[in-house]
A and B are shown apart, each in its own frame.
Chain A
Amino acid sequence: MSLKHYGIYLAYPPTVDLRAEGLGRHLAMFLKGAANLSGVRFTIICPSWTVETLESLFVSEQVPKEVFTVVAPRGKPYSLAIFEAIRSYRTSIKNKTGYLSCIVKMTARIGERVWRRAAARAVAAHHVGAAIISIVEILVLIPFLLLAFPLALLVYIWRVARLAVKYWPSSYFSHLQSIAAKANALLVKPYDANWVLRLFDAMHAGEMRRMQKEIETLADVRAWYCPTAFWPDFHEIKAPRLTCVPDVVLSDFPVGFSGVGGDRFLKTFEAIGRSIRGGDYFVTYSESVKWQTLVDRYAVRAKKITVIPHAPNMLDEHVKITGFPDVDATSVHYCQMLLRGALQRSTNPDYTATFSNGDVKFLFYASQLRPNKNVLTLLRAFEYLLRRRYVGHKLVLTGNPALMPDIQRFIVDHRLERDVIFLHGLSVAELAACYKLADLAVNPTLSEGGCPFTFTEALSVGTPVVMSRIAVTEEVLTDQDLQFVTFFDPFNWRDCAERIEWAINHRNDLLEIQRKTYSELVKRSWTDVVSEYVAVLDDISINWQSKELIKN
């Protein structure tokens, strides 16, 4: 059977780590699903700076190498290479003591040892011979002192100068300090500075042009797929193209997002608009996004949009232990070890690093903190449960509250710092462990592109879920009984609280009901999903060829 080649277009800007992006994990699942399809191969075109992070992602997600080829323009832009080198160097020097200090300390140590020995001998000398030996030893000491002293003096002067810059109340020094601080901030968050954003945009645009040249050499790719609508340049490709539009959440939450991401997000929004308007064929994860976003808002023709729901995302393989007499207990033990590790990296390590109760009971919501995620409703419900209903569970969230001032303020104003724990940078195994150990997973989101993965992620490790009743969820979780016990009104924190409390007190009943639906949902695999994508790609490829024939 001949091999069919399809292309996947990625154009993430510099410094994006795909392992931390939802689309990154989605891509990994997609390719793993494709591994079971014979006669299909994907070529991934991406910027030069994405190759390394893509490889890391695929190694960590164990994506088989036979399914894909990565093509990228050769050679990273020098300016980016320099930027990354400086950033890498700044990170490494934080962990190292200065070489100069090391030399001085070592010299001082040797000198001290020699001095002690010499002094001990000198004070004990009781005859001429011993006195002579003492004098000789002291003379030997002098070179060390001569060596150590100027070095020590230099280091001392340098340190005083640094302190002076830090504390001297002078506008000149504060100006220098301000520059240094800004430089540091740029290294950590380059996109927060508009001028850097413009430079990176220019770099990005140049890179996409180079990618286009590479694409032109890939004649065997019959159709191209772009997993997101962020990159209008995708439509420069003169070949059948399929664009995925997960959602356009900024339109639904314009005020909420106005304070998030600055102009960078605005540029992304505008790019999405151009991408949709310039696109030809589309895929969405839900009927809701198809009709309400693409058809109603962007006037895309319905027949050009295919809905391909996700397959479930299962996490059990990351915590499923085999080869022990009691695999369940061993798995729980392993998950507790993973959770302990994750707690060391919470946003409140003073409290969590020595938290010793491995059996801690908690609710879990795994999501970035964004305006559409409805975290404040969940927090209001949680505070009520803790302080009025005396439900003593903790609430574990992922993400960094410092990025969402409203959430941060709520936590502080309501004294929830000890009971709401933020874990970020979780590995997949740690994520699976959190789901497994949680009493209940909760998802209060107001808007998603498709049914949230929360349901299948939690149930794959035996944890029940309660979720907000939104259209995309109702499309997939259709059973009435299931809906009754699972859903709450996302606009009503009391309803959320009641549902959570009921779920905690009827955990086994809830699990029993939800498992029935879960067992149906897991029949759909990522191979099924990829087959449907391939079918659409084949269709648009045929249409394209027909049009080309007609043109000619």
Chain B
Amino acid sequence: MNEFKSLRVMWLLNHTTFRHFEIFQLSNMGVKEIFLPKSFPFDEGNLSASVTHEFDKSLQLGASDIELLNEQDWYGEPEAAAWEVANKYFDVIFIGFFPRQMLSACLNFKGSIVIRAFGLGGDNTYSQLIRQIGGQSLQFAIARAGGRLWFGFGYEHLMQCEEDFVANRSVFMPVGLKTSNVSDQWQGNEKRIFFVCPRIGSSPYFRGIYNNFIENFKGIPYYIGGAQPIRINDPNILGFVTNQRYSEIMRQSRVMFYHSQEPNHIHYHPFEAIRAGIPLVFMAGGMLDTMGGIGLPGRCRTVAEARKKIKRILADDWVLIEKIRASQAVLLEPMKPENCEPAWRDGFVRIVAELARWRGEQAARPAVNMRKRVAVILPVGYRGGSLRGAIALAQAIHLGSRQRGEDAEVVFAHLDDPASYSDDVFSDLPVSINRRSFNWKILTAADARRAMRYAGFEGWEPASQYYQVPDDGIQQLLDCDLWLCISDRILHPVLPIKPMALMVYDYLQRYENLLVHGADMPFLSAARSAERVLVTTEFTRQDALQYAGVEPRKVSKVPMLAPEFPIQRGVLGHQGAPFFIWTTNAAPHKNHRHAAEALRIYYEELQGKWDCQVTGVNTKAMLESELPHLKAMAEVFAHSLVLQRHVKWVGELVDNQYRQLLSQARFLWHAGRIDNGTFSVIEAACLGVPSLSSDYPAMREIDAQFSLSLAWMDPDSPRNMAVQLKHMELEATGRQALLPDEAQLYAQRIDKHAGAYWQEVRACL
């Protein structure tokens, strides 16, 4: 009886009736310390849920540990510290079939996990639902839990329709009632049907059941029991009643009707009715048939038969009434605690034995340093700032894992394009980060299906015609534990054979005309199905939520990682005529026409004194470009000789030349309209050069994170831009003093933010 007294169990459900029975079973087997959750989700379907603290006093844990456990939302994502306590003290947890709860438990708990399953409606199976509502992340987590995970079925036949990955991990732990003696208190004076149908106003399913009941039993008096979260205008609906009132209704109602013909699901109330002694008229074809219901006088094959029997009962046919009452007790037999106890014991013995075996196995396991390997994937041929950003991210993960003592290997994967990706381009990449080239391999649906089946994803079916997978010519990056893709520019769904996270820098297409309608959908789908979406600004985070429609818990903001620009202040001093630098490129969102107009106003109307030198990729030929937004700019230049005289088109410079020119500038001018921010202002600050920037959210965030004290202008108003340019003639020198000092700049280096990146990545591993 006390064979399990040394075990501690967390029973992470809140269903009141289940709790009474299951805690009784566990206690009967000798489990003395049981933790119960102190909150449950805000779901109007949680009608039978309640909270109790009565078992806390039996826990031999410190008060602060109990408090920590009590504070958690065990249906969502409990804190890491809470899981540490759970792993330290508890051996077995019981959870419900809730995707987030299952995911969190499988990823974090190191003991045995029993998922309680009580049956589903229709043809649904738990195997299907795991795929449909849990997705790949849950399947990965279940696979990782291995032999520690169990599906505790409440009814034995339920496992028969499950796929192997569920059926092979099944254990029968029957549903029962703590007290199942038939009462002799029933009187039946109220000539009504008592029909239990909760949530009529809030659930289309129960509304349908209610409508059918009203239709089928028209003209027969009834009470409807069951809590109604939304009020219903039917005087016969009782709504929430106290236990006492409920018992009285059971005692006085002449008959209960049970409608369900579901083969795999049954409610509690028909058993409660039998226990109360009220005659039960029920429909054939449901689970009561498998529990001894076939042949019982209360069983009905058709609604007409049910109606007839009920009318007889209400018309005082005591022969029928007593016949039903006398025979229906057999349905309680499978629910009796003493009849459930052997199966519970057997199941628990299996669970505990498997846990002991697993623990022993782990203890004897040779200590091999199983390093996690993360692939940082550049999905398109990014160069320049985007490539540098990806390299910085790879460095951050590499460094962050080491800072935490969880050394991870990082593989930097880029497209196989030797012309774009020579060795020189990766001079910043640490030697310890391996580089691999790859090409995207496109799989048909049939190939994808086979690949997933081979990888152990039983039952996976393709939802798209094509899938893509990074093919490094070795093992398609399958040696990596996580794929972190830099950007969402993925045309076909990536084969969900490995967990995947995305780094998304912006959703510019929401603001600028960059894509034809519909072209963004693959990118949004990629984000929605990723394990995590990392962003670096609050602005992009909001876009990920509002525009991409990603689930909020999957979106994480991490600090911006700027390239490690050399910090050199006032080395050369200003030489020659004063000028400012306008860094730009040919992209449409760089606001060329307004910038040109602003410069014209600055020089022609405001007598601007400082020349403008234009640098950046493809800037030298911008005035000759045929692109509409550049032609509009060229037109402004064509009509202004003053502009032509003062603006010099320097073009793209190599880094050293650019820095030399920048250090001589009085300020840097960033005139773009909307993007995820530009690091050119940081580079300028490192060289002691202040910046005048377009005022938009991402630049405000860069200003805040790097303490740049940027000057601002309205990018939609050329006049305002021009006025601010003029102001800079007076303010630029003074603004140098407002720039961040070296300590502040160093505080933004990769090593200071690496931990935040590793934290997000490890949550996906």
A residues in contact (CB < 8 Å) with B: 62, 64, 317-324, 326, 329-334, 350-352, 354-361, 386-388, 390, 392-394, 412, 415, 417-419, 429
Contact = CB atoms under 8 A, between A and B. Distances in A.
Nearest to A330: B42
B430 interface: no
A324 B229 contact: yes
B521 A351 contact: yes
22 contacts: A64-B233, A318-B201, A318-B230, A320-B231, A321-B202, A323-B239, A324-B44, A326-B42, A330-B42, A330-B229, A333-B44, A350-B518, A351-B524, A351-B549, A354-B528, A357-B551, A390-B539, A392-B546, A393-B546, A412-B517, A418-B547, A429-B201
Contacts of B232: 62
Given A322-B229, A323-B240, A350-B521, A334 B547 contact: no
A356 B550 contact: yes
Please list the 3 inter-chain residue pairs (A to B) with the smallest Cβ-Cβ separation, ordered nearest first: A355-B549, A62-B233, A329-B42
| Interface range for B | 35 or more
Given A350-B521, A357-B549, A359-B545, A324 B42 contact: yes
Interface string B35-63: 00000011110110000000000000000
Interface string B540-573: 0011011101111010000000000000000000
Given A359-B552, A360-B549, 9 more contacts: A64-B233, A323-B239, A334-B44, A350-B518, A355-B528, A357-B549, A360-B545, A392-B547, A417-B517
Contacts of B43: 330, 333-334
A357 B552 contact: yes
B520 interface: yes
A321 B546 contact: no
A333 B42 CA distance: 6
B500 to A, nearest CB: 16
Interface string B505-545: 00000110100011011001100100000000001001101
Interface string B201-215: 110000000000000
Contacts of B47: 323
Nearest to B513: A415
B45 to A, nearest CB: 9
Contacts of B679: none
Contacts of A388: 716
B26 interface: no
B231 A317 contact: yes
Contacts of A357: 545-546, 549-552
Contacts, number: 98
Given A330-B44, A357-B546, A361-B546, A387 B511 contact: yes
A417 B509 CA distance: 12
A418 B520 contact: yes
Contacts of A361: 546
A154 B596 CA distance: 72
A352 B42 CA distance: 24
Nearest to B240: A323
Contacts of B41: 333
Contacts of B525: 354
Contacts of A320: 230-231
A322 B545 CA distance: 30
Contacts of B549: 351-352, 354-357, 360
Interface of chain B, helix or strand or loop or mixed?
Answer: loop
A360 B546 contact: yes
A381 B204 CA distance: 37
Nearest to B231: A317
A67 B227 CA distance: 28
A332 B521 contact: no
A323 to B, nearest CB: 5
A321 B547 contact: no
Given A354-B549, A412-B517, A321 B230 contact: yes
B89 interface: no
B229 A323 contact: yes
A184 to B, nearest CB: 26
Contacts of A392: 542-543, 546-547
A282 B725 CA distance: 67
B231 A334 contact: no
B697 interface: yes
B696 interface: yes
Interface string B224-256: 000111111100000110000000000000000
Contacts of B229: 321-324, 330, 334
A387 B47 CA distance: 44
Interface of B: 41-44, 46-47, 201-202, 227-233, 239-240, 510-511, 513, 517-518, 520-521, 524-525, 528, 539, 542-543, 545-547, 549-552, 554, 696-697, 716
Interface of chain A, helix or strand or loop or mixed?
Answer: loop
Contacts of B539: 390
A523 to B, nearest CB: 21
Contacts of A359: 545, 552
Given A330-B229, A357-B551, A390 B520 contact: no
Contacts of B542: 392
Nearest to B715: A388
A322 B240 contact: yes
B493 to A, nearest CB: 12
A393 B240 CA distance: 38
Nearest to A362: B546
A266 to B, nearest CB: 35
Nearest to B516: A415
Nearest to A387: B511
A386 B232 CA distance: 41
A418 B549 CA distance: 10
A321 B552 contact: no
A547 B69 CA distance: 82
Contacts of B552: 357-359
A513 B176 CA distance: 55
Contact of A323 (B201, B227, B547): B227
B716 to A, nearest CB: 6
A540 to B, nearest CB: 32
Contacts of B510: 386, 418-419
Contacts of B554: 356
Contacts of A393: 546
Which one of A323, A350, A357 has the highest number of Cβ atoms from chain B below 10 Å of its Cβ? A357
A318 B200 CA distance: 12
Contacts of B546: 357, 360-361, 392-394
A420 B543 CA distance: 14
Contacts of A356: 528, 549-551, 554
Contacts of A350: 518, 521
A33 B43 CA distance: 32
Contacts of B42: 324, 326, 329-330, 332-333
Given A333-B44, A351-B521, A356-B528, A322 B543 contact: no
A330 B45 CA distance: 9
A325 to B, nearest CB: 8
B59 to A, nearest CB: 23
Contacts of A322: 228-229, 231, 240
B531 to A, nearest CB: 13
Contacts of A387: 511
Nearest to B520: A418
Contacts of B230: 317-321, 429
A324 B232 CA distance: 17
A415 B510 CA distance: 8
Which one of B202, B542, B550 has the highest number of Cβ atoms from chain A below 10 Å of its Cβ? B202
B247 to A, nearest CB: 19
A334 B202 contact: yes
A429 B542 CA distance: 28
Contacts of B240: 322-323
A415 B44 contact: no
Contacts of B550: 356-357
Nearest to B542: A392
A327 B552 CA distance: 22
Nearest to B234: A62
B533 to A, nearest CB: 11
